[in-house]
Copies of this chain bind each other. A is one copy, B any other.
Amino acid sequence: MLIVHNIRLSRILRNTWQVDLIMIVSCTGAYLTRAFLIKHHFEIPAIIPAVLGTAIAFFIGFNNNQAYDRWWEARKIWGALVNDSRSWARSVITYISQNEISDEEFKTLKNRMVRRHIGFLYALKAKLRGAVDENYQQYMEEADLKEINQHSNVHNAILTLQSRELQQLNKDGMIDGFRFIELNHLLIRFSDEMGKAERIKNTVFPTTYNYFTKVFIWLFIVSLTLVVSHEAGLWSIFIGWLVGFVFVSTQINGMSLIDPFENNSSSVPLNQITRTIEINLLEMIGAEKIPAPVKPINDEYIL
């Protein structure tokens, strides 16, 4: 997530230099084609770039809408995980009855269920980011880790562990049916949110939209250069690139949001949010070592 208000020229150039080059070459080509081939035969009618421009503005708008929706939905999903994680910790801490076990055992039990949940979050984050994250292991007990290793879907396996412990707690009379149902609802919500995040991660935005939009923009600036070169001569190359830049950079901006769980500067800041939950939950169980919040990189963005 970018946190600056102005974008450095260097960042813009880094993101668009390839496209800029293609556009400049294409506009130059169009200029030369017109100068040497078309000029003496006919004029390219101005209605072509006019009609294409309007149509493409629509299509770019469509792409940006869908991209933004994916990004915002991703943010909502991870936000829901924040809320439900707090509810989980709160419920675990206050709703389990101590019964006959010792204070020490009781505290260990609660800590285990809350820390295991932090492990769940880190495991899910690692999967979504496509990264190896050993972070989650420090929050899991030895026995848990062993069992989980047999599963390809680590985060799902952790939920099963929670569910089994819940069942045991109910059997031991430490939570009654009403509390059991409340905690189980939270597990179902974690399952939902995890699945929703995977859905966005695994669903490729229809390739055709991005591909064709790029082709159409290219057609548009070529036809624009052809039309404009009549009046503006060599400047038409600059004009073609400039107008093309408006369209292309908007399209690129949109596409940078399309995969909101990637590890880049415009993605949902999973590191930061997960750390926030981690801090909240550790404070709630009165942990001693509490990590610091995630810091922005270059004062420019947060991962």
**A interface vs B, CB < 8 Å?**
1-7, 41-62, 64-66, 68, 71, 75-76, 79-80, 82-84, 86-87, 90-91, 93-95, 97, 150-153, 156, 159-160, 163-164, 166-167, 171, 176-182, 184, 187-188, 191-192, 194-196, 198-199, 203-204, 206-212, 216, 219, 224, 227-228, 231-233, 235, 239, 242-243, 246-247, 249-250, 253, 256-257, 266, 279-280, 283-284
- Number of copies of this protein chain within its complex: 5
In the bound complex, residues from chain B placing their C-beta under 8 Å from that of A216 are: 246
Tell whether, in the assembled complex, residue A2 and residue B195 are in contact, meaning their CB atoms are under 8 Å apart: no
Nearest 4 CB-CB pairings of A with B:
A83-B195, A51-B53, A79-B199, A177-B178
Judge whether B184 and A182 touch: CB under 8 Å: yes
CA–CA, A232 and B211, complex, Å: 29
Please state if B224 and A51 are interface contacts (CB–CB under 8 Å): yes
**Residue contact B208 to A266, C-beta cutoff 8 Å:** yes
A152 to B6, CA, bound (A): 31
**A41 proximity list for chain B (CB < 8 A):** 233
CB of A146 to closest CB in B, whole Å: 15
Q: Which of chain B's residues have a CB closer than 8 A to the CB of A50?
A: 47, 50-51, 53
Q: Are A62 and B61 in contact (CB under 8 A)?
A: yes
Given contacts A178-B178, A199-B76, A208-B253, contact A87 B191 (CB under 8 A): yes
Partner of A42, one of B181, B187, B210, B231: B231
A164: chain B residues at CB < 8 Å are: 94
CA separation between A44 and B242, bound complex, in Å? 13
A70 to chain B, nearest CB (A): 9
Say whether A235 contacts B191, CB under 8 Å. Answer: no
Q: Are A195 and B46 in contact (CB under 8 A)?
A: no
Residues of B contacting A163 in the complex (Cβ-Cβ under 8 angstroms): 90-91, 93-95
